[in-house]
Structure 1
Amino acid sequence: MHQRQDIVIIGGGVIGSSIAYFLKSSDNFTGNVTVIEKDPSYEFGSTGRSWGGIRQQFTTPENIRMSQFAQEFLRDINGYLSVDETAVNVNYNDHGYLFLAKDRQISRLYGNHTLQRGENVDVALLDREDLVRGYPWLNVSDLAGGSLGLSGEGWLDAYSLHQAFRKKALSLGVTYHIAEAADFEIRDNLITAVKLADGSRLNAGVFVNAAGPAAAKTAKWAGIELPVSSRKRYAFSFSCRTPVEGCPLVIDPSGVHFRPEGRQFLAGCSPEPQNDPDCVDFDIDYGWFEEHIWPILAHRVPAFEAIKLESAWAGHYAYNLLDQNAILGPHPDLRNFYFANGFSGHGLQQSPAVGRGISELITYGEYRSLDLSRFSFARIMTGTPILEHNVV
């Protein structure tokens, strides 16, 4: 057990801040925690540019259970993250996710439903007539049905959740060190210090890689190949004159997804793997919206034929090339080096469970609340993917 060790977390986003919070809130952890953050403004961080979605409609039980804990966490967020009795507001909107399916996809949707109901997910299967009754603005001509989350799904203000974790961690004594990590010092198969770009160094007993899209670079300082790449994703905000009432977060069979955002809507779509290169810039390809996303939006919701694009932004996924699932826990050989990487767009909703889980591993040497050992680095070494079919 490492409960008396000092901990250095590389990455001050929502994952790193959640780990820091759960460590310092544990009565059984007595060490110091330092979070190295390169950009305290978070202007270009992954968290602040997230859609803030939380869903339980996954096809991997552990992913479902992590989101279920996120819902539990949000219900008592003030009990967890309030500082000086100041209420925490992350503007959570409890709306379902609606996965739409054509004929060729409906068997998988039914299979997903069976698994999800086995995990106590509050989800309903809808046929075409159900879709017509519930969403009269939806074009169902080429659809066979859908899957709707009835509760326990929605979206929130990602930045507010991140800041709540950070403020609570600070109040518990976590140190946030504004610096750029540059390398590790390693001796006797243990990391002994992290070197900073200004020439200084931080010693500790345990180091956590929570570096988001820069995770592979951080792992490489220890001679470890981590299959996590920075992949750019766009969010396009548009307005529509015609009311589209009761709109959940809709995932079209094409992969285009959209949801309401106040009086406007957000839309996006992940590209095909062959057109999804590593990327670190924030340039926006408006042609992707005009040529690919908008035609699908207009087909699925006829009211979207007449819309006005209001704004757009780009962010980056820490994309796990093996299976788009998290990589969690210590390296098998470099045992004081922990991973919390590769969330592939699901980091925000998984941050409470991951923070708690990594804290337990460091403090007790094992998971105690939710067994996430399936996501260990061992599968990276063997190249054995965890197949998650509901990746958005």
Structure 2
Amino acid sequence: MTSYDVVIVGGGATGSSVAFHLLSDPDFSGRVLVVEKDATYRLAASALSAASIRQQYSQPVNIRMSLYGIGFLRDIGRHLAVDGEAPAIGLSEAGYLYLAGEAHAEALRENHVAQRREGADIRLLDRSALGERFPWLALDGVTLGSWGASGEGWFDGWALLQAFRRKARHLGAEYRQDEVVGLEVTGGCVVGVHLREGGFVACGGGALVNCAGTNGPRIAAMAGIPLPVQAKRRSVFAFTCRTPLQAAPLLIDMSGVWMRPEGRPGPDGQTYIAGWSPPPESDPDWRDEDPDTQAVDWSLFEEVVWPALAARVPAFQTIRPGRAWAGPYDMNLFDHNAVLGPAADVENLYLCNGFSGHGLQQSPAVGRGLAERIIHGRYTTLDLFSLGYERLAAGKPLLEQNVI
């Protein structure tokens, strides 16, 4: 019978970050297995997201995780280089820009207090300051903007995923393409997992980490743990504008539509990507087993995304549409925050689920935090306790206001 000290279900950015952080801790000397059902990551959120990072949250724990994350990304060569070769992730710190009308300006101000308290470099801009810094914006209905002057932006998410995976394997993690079809739970402890192809793998006395993304609720249910997590579909659209925008950040319009530059300007102009965060009643589900739920909704671009952007950025009234793709958001319907740490009644099952679109940017902090919890029994650097399963069991949501 094969046995490992830690079995991680899901080898995306968070799962691979957990593996890396475990094996880079000098106090850990165990064996790590990462079980990933699709090593191409064709449907993984890590590969299909807009790959951005921000500190503009309302909850301090999210701000702290992203502050740690941007430091990790800036110094990625020191963390994830293998044989002297540092990964290139194309980090751009052009910032996020949230726009608000009179009805939501006070929320930006309240969030700004929390962000500045945690040390985030976020600035509030009135209409005059917005017009001066971003002259290409139409400011109809805008009262206030919140802009990340540093520490926010975007990067190559695929490159980060592969860098975590490569470094974890270099340190000794074993990756296996297989699917977990059952858990063996005895006396409130996971003693092993049943794999579709590989039989039974033991982890008794160690830990099982659920980083299974869209399959996270199914894995938790195998141990009798309910998770209020549902995968939602997000469509991302690319288009080209002949006139590049000066110092364009990732813009979140009051309509819920967002956009950011992608790559460098070319002979035909600058490419941008964009999408929309729909209200809950219009938010479509994503299911791995149903291709119809994974299809790009092109009507969103014509009816919602482009009209909103063309009204906010006059230069976008003339564009050339490009490709598009859809990917999953593992939405925590309880409070839009990740569920991290030990499960309620299964002492060695660790949850890493429901990131609600924040998983890639939070993967450095999550990997470090869960590794500390597994090895040392507590968080020794970033305190992630407030994101624990206990709040779900107690019915006490930790509501995140800034969800896109």
Give TM-score, length-normalised by structure 1: 0.97
Matching residue of 1:293? 305
1:48 aligned to 2:55? no
Matching residue of 1:229? 230
Q: Identity rate of aligned residues, in percent?
A: 47
Stretch of structure 1 that moved more, 164-173 or 188-197: 188-197
CA deviation string 1:259-310 (max 9, x = no partner): 1112200110121111224222320110011111111111101111111210
Tell me, in whole angstroms, the C-alpha distance in 1 between the residues paired with 2:277 and 2:67: 25
Matching residue of 1:251? 252
Matching residue of 1:57? 56
Gaps of 5+ in 2: 264-269, 288-292
The runs of at least 4 consecutive aligned structure 1 residues that moved more than 4 Å come to none
Any residues of structure 2 matched to 1:1-392 within 5 Å, and which? 6-198=5-197, 200-204=199-203, 205-262=206-263, 263-280=270-287, 281-392=293-404
CA deviation string 1:62-97 (max 9, x = no partner): 100000111111222111110001122111111110
Question: RMSD across aligned C-alpha pairs, in angstroms?
Answer: 1.2
Letter paired with 2:74: R
Letter paired with 1:273: P
CA deviation string 1:312-338 (max 9, x = no partner): 000001110101101000012100100
Contact 2:331 2:356 in 1 (8 A): yes
Tell me, in whole angstroms, the C-alpha distance in 2 between the residues paired with 1:142 and 1:242: 24
Letter paired with 1:328: L
Letter paired with 1:84: D
Contact 2:74 2:91 in 1 (8 A): no
**CA apart distance, 1:242:** 2.6
Tell me, in whole angstroms, the C-alpha distance in 2 between the residues paired with 1:294 and 1:79: 41
CA deviation string 1:140-192 (max 9, x = no partner): 02111201100011100000001000000000000001101111011111111
Q: What's the secondary structure of 2:341's corresponding residue? A: strand
Change (3 A) 1:14 1:28: same
Tell me, in whole angstroms, the C-alpha distance in 2 between the residues paired with 1:277 and 1:189: 36
**CA apart distance, 1:199:** 6.2
Q: What's the secondary structure of 1:351's corresponding residue? A: helix
Q: What's the secondary structure of 2:88's corresponding residue? A: coil
Letter paired with 2:137: L
Matching residue of 2:290? none
Tell me, in whole angstroms, the C-alpha distance in 2 between the residues paired with 1:141 and 1:187: 61
Tell me, in whole angstroms, the C-alpha distance in 2 between the residues paired with 1:93 and 1:291: 30
Tell me, in whole angstroms, the C-alpha distance in 1 between the residues paired with 2:140 and 2:328: 34
**CA apart distance, 1:5:** 6.9
Contact 1:319 1:344 in 2 (8 A): yes
**CA apart distance, 1:45:** 1.1
Tell me, in whole angstroms, the C-alpha distance in 1 between the residues paired with 2:88 and 2:401: 32
Contact 1:213 1:319 in 2 (8 A): no
Tell me, in whole angstroms, the C-alpha distance in 2 between the residues paired with 1:32 and 1:99: 44
Tell me, in whole angstroms, the C-alpha distance in 1 between the residues paired with 2:315 and 2:75: 38
Q: What's the secondary structure of 1:83's corresponding residue? A: coil
Gaps of 5+ in 1: none
**Number of aligned pairs?**
389
